Chains A and B, each alone.
Chain A
Amino acid sequence: EIVMTQSPATLSVSPGERATLSCTASQSVSSNYLAWYQQKPGQAPRLLIYSTSTRATGIPARFSGSGSGTEFTLTISSLQSEDFAVYYCQQYNHWPKLSFGGGTKVEIK
């Protein structure tokens, strides 16, 4: 089973600042098979990015993804109030078993 580890667990950022979230896989993940999700309190998760760097429909350009192998990054270039949430990475390279990271909470500093 691929273990996905996210860091930090909590990230305190001021509005307008840049946020960088990390996701590390225990085994190499093809860059075609890494996704990011956003979850706000009381809501279902929402797909943000897939294939490491492709934004899902309707996702603003301030969200970007990068990485390869075992190290992946989600960057939010200028945090807006609606971006404070929990973010999860997910690998779907090693079918049929899928796995999520433990999440990074982005909170207001």
Chain B
Amino acid sequence: QVQLVESGGGLVKPGGSLRLSCAASGFTFSDYYMSWVRQAPGKGLEWVGYIRSGGSAIYYADSVEGRFTISRDDAKNSLYLQMNSLRAEDSAVYYCVTFRGIMEYWGQGTLVTVSS
């Protein structure tokens, strides 16, 4: 069965950096577009960005453009989110999601807290 396991969350100071990872299994990872979606505490869902299969194109929400970088390693069945210049408003649970326009399979998420 499809499994997505995020890791790398934690507490970081404003202006700091963090790298999230997502380990995928149960499907042919290289065939899938992948996305990151986040959810601030008590708030709704916000699309962060996605990467095409093969990494040929990457798109970001305006709120993270220029600060966040999505990448993938198909040999390791892994998705990454490098987050720089973090702000308090980036505090959220970050979900790794398979993406075909629709968000079909979701990980359980990893919590990122940006606070001094």
Q: How far, in whole Å, are A103 and B35 apart by their CA atoms in the complex?
A: 20
Residues of A within 8 A of B59 (CB): 95-97
- Count the A residues whose beta carbon is within 8 Å of the partner chain — how many? 24
Residues of B within 8 A of A67 (CB): none
Residues of B within 8 A of A100 (CB): 44-47
A19 adjacent to chain B (CB < 8 Å) = no
A90 adjacent to chain B (CB < 8 Å) = yes
Q: How far, in whole Å, are A33 and B107 apart by their CA atoms in the complex?
A: 22
| Contact of B108 with A44 in the complex, beta carbons under 8 Å | yes
B101 adjacent to chain A (CB < 8 Å) = yes
Which chain A residue lies CB-closest to B109?
A44
Q: Contact string, B36-52, partner A, CB cutoff 8 A, digits 1/0? A: 01000000111100100
B31 adjacent to chain A (CB < 8 Å) = no
Q: Contact string, A90-108, partner B, CB cutoff 8 A, digits 1/0? A: 1010011111111100000
| Contact of B62 with A1 in the complex, beta carbons under 8 Å | yes
A79 adjacent to chain B (CB < 8 Å) = no
The residue from A90, A96, A97, A99 contacting B103, defined by CB atoms under 8 A apart: A90
Which chain B residue lies CB-closest to A101?
B44
The residue from A35, A56, A102 contacting B44, defined by CB atoms under 8 A apart: A102
Which chain A residue lies CB-closest to B103?
A47
B95 adjacent to chain A (CB < 8 Å) = yes
A50 adjacent to chain B (CB < 8 Å) = yes
| Contact of A88 with B102 in the complex, beta carbons under 8 Å | no
Query: Nearest 7 A-B pairs (CB), nearest first?
Result: A96-B59, A92-B101, A44-B106, A98-B47, A100-B45, A50-B102, A103-B44
A: residues with CB less than 8 A from B are 1, 33, 35, 37, 39, 43-47, 50, 56, 88, 90, 92, 95-103
If A35-B101, A35-B102, A100-B47 are given as contacts, then 5 extra A-B residue pairs at C-beta distance below 8 Å, sorted by A number, are A44-B106, A44-B107, A47-B104, A95-B59, A98-B50
Would you mind naming 17 contact pairs between A and B with Cβ atoms under 8 Å apart?
A: A33-B101, A37-B45, A44-B106, A44-B107, A45-B95, A45-B106, A56-B104, A88-B44, A90-B45, A92-B101, A95-B59, A96-B50, A97-B47, A98-B50, A99-B47, A101-B44, A103-B45
